Amino acid sequence: MPLPPAVPLRKGIRLVSCELPAIMAFADIVGHDKAIEVLRRAAGSGRVAQAYLFAGPPNIGKTTVAKQFAKALNCEKLPEGTPPEQLEPCGICHNCVRIEEENHPDFMVLRPGLRLETRDELPEDAASEQEDEAVEEPVAQDGPGLFGDEEPAPAQTGPSLFGDEPAAAVQAGPRKPPPKAKRRQSKIAMYVELPDALIYTEQIQEVVDRTSVKLAAGTRHRVIVITEADRIQYNAVDRLLKTLEEPPARTTFVLTSSNPAVVKDTIVSRCQTIKFQPLTTSQMLERLTERCPDADADTLRAVAAMAGGRFGRAEHLLATPAARAVRDGLLTMAAESTDALLMQCMAMGEKIIDLNEQWLAATDRALAGDGAGDPSDRLAQLRAKAIAEMGKSSPDRFKRIAMNQLLDMLQSWYRDLALLRAAPHSQLVANSDWRDTLGDLAPLYTHKGLRFASQTIENTRADLLGHNANMRLACEVLMCKLIASRRRR
C-alpha cells in the first residue's frame, strides 16, 4: 500500500538537522551526574558491586552509562587506582573501541529480542568472488615452423607430445569462461531487538556460559549488561539468580529496567539500585543549543518536547524531520478535536491510521539497528533482512508498535491540558512549543472530561496491544470519545 503524503509542519517550523558528537566518555553524557558520580567512586576505589540495577524511563541513557562504566573499568590508559575525579575512559584504546562496538570478549549487552531466521547466501569458494574473465590460450606460431617447415606449428594441448594419441590443435583466441560457482544458502538465526520482545531462557544461558570463561588478556573486569530486566522470561529468572548470588571474580552485572516494580524482589535485593531521571525541558534546550547553534529555535523546542527528557531521543529526532512532521500533524488533529463534530470521528480515525504509516516509515531504521545501512556490516545487513521479512509476513505487529508511540504523544497532550487547567503558569508543560494553544484550550475542558480522555487512550492501548483489536475501528472509537471528552461535565 503506498504511503500517504507527508503531513506539513506548522508555519514557522523549519526542518533542520545537526550532527552531534559520538559519546566516548562520561563527560560526553548529558545529565545523570549523580549516577555517574556513584559509578566513578566505585571504579576508582576498586569496590565495584557484583550487580547494579539502573532504573529509569526507557531510552534515557541507562545502557550508554553502563557502556562507559565498562570502559572506565578496562581502559588501557587508566591505571588501577586512578582517582574518581580523573576517571575518564580515553575512547580510543583497544578495549574502549571494542566495548563501544560491543565486540569485546568480556563485555556483553543482552537486549530483549525475537528469534528470527533468515538465509545468507555464501559462495562455494573464493573463486566465485572474482570476476569471470576470459582466459587466453596459447596461439599458433606466426611464420615457419620450428624445423623450417612451411606450415606454422599449432599450439598443442591434451596428452604428452610423445603419447600415442595425436595432440589436438586449437583455434587462437579466448575460450569460454568457466561456469559460475554455485552459491549455497546458509540459514542464520539471530535475536532482533523489538519493543514488545522478551529475554528468553537460551539467551540467559548464553550469559551464564560467558561468565564461566577465563578473562581475556588485557581485561581487568568483565561487565554483562542486561537491558529491560523486567522482561526476562519467567523460567529464565532462576538461572540468572544463581549467577547473581555467586558471580565469578571480577564480574559485574548491570541490569536496566524502565519498570523496576515488576522485577523479582530476589533479583532487586542482590543489586545496588541507581535511579536515572529525565532532563527538564530547559536543560534539554540548553544542551541542544550548545551542540546545535545553527538549528532553528522552534525546531529545538519541538524536539525537546518530543524527547521527554531523553537526550538520545532528541538526537534521533533532529536527524528525522519526517517524525517531527508526524507529531505536528497528530497534535494539530488533537487541537481540532476540541470543536469537532462527532460525525468527524471516522475521518479523524482514518487520519491516525495514515499518520501511523508515516511514523512507521520515518522510524523503521531504528528497528533494523543503527548499522543497517552500512554495507560493510554483514550482521547488520542480515538483521535488516530478517526485519524486512518479518514485516512482510506480519506487518500488523510493526503498526501496533508504532501506534503505541502515537498514543504516548496523545497522552502527553491531554496531560498538558490537565496541568494548565489546574496551574495556568506551570513550567512543567511537556509540549512547550504548543503552550499558547494548550493555554487557550485548557479552560474549555473539565477535570472529569480530561480524566475520561486519558483513560480512553489507555483503554485503546490495551485493546490494540493486549487484545489485538481492529486498528481502524479502535482509532475511530478513540476519536469519537476524545471529541466527546470536551462535552463531559
Instruction: Write the pLDDT tens digit of every residue in 347-375.
Output: 999 999 999 999 888 876 444 443 333 44
The per-residue pLDDT for 139 is 46
How far, in Å, are 12, 68, 117, 171, 209 from residue 191 at the CA level? 43, 24, 9, 57, 18
Asked whether the beta carbons of 20 and 291 are under 8 A apart, the reply is yes
The per-residue pLDDT for 218 is 86
Where are the domains positioned within the chain?
A: 32-116+196-275, 319-485
The per-residue pLDDT for 175 is 59
The per-residue pLDDT for 37 is 92
Q: What is the pLDDT of residues 279-313, one digit of tens each?
A: 887 788 888 888 777 778 878 888 888 887 888 78
Contacts (Cβ under 8 Å, ≥6 apart) of 163: none
CA distance 254 to 64: 11
The per-residue pLDDT for 71 is 92
* CB burial of residue 134 (10 Å; 0-12, 13-18, 19+): exposed
Whether this prediction's pTM lies above 0.85 is answered by: no
CA distance 205 to 203: 5
Backbone dihedral angles phi then psi of residue 267, each to the nearest 5 degrees: -80, -45
The per-residue pLDDT for 180 is 55
Nearest of 302, 319, 303, 314 to residue 365 by alpha carbon: 319
Q: Name the stretches of the chain with pLDDT < 70.
A: 1-24, 116-192, 364-393
The per-residue pLDDT for 155 is 47
Q: Which CATH class is domain 32-116+196-275?
A: alpha beta
The per-residue pLDDT for 7 is 38
The per-residue pLDDT for 2 is 40
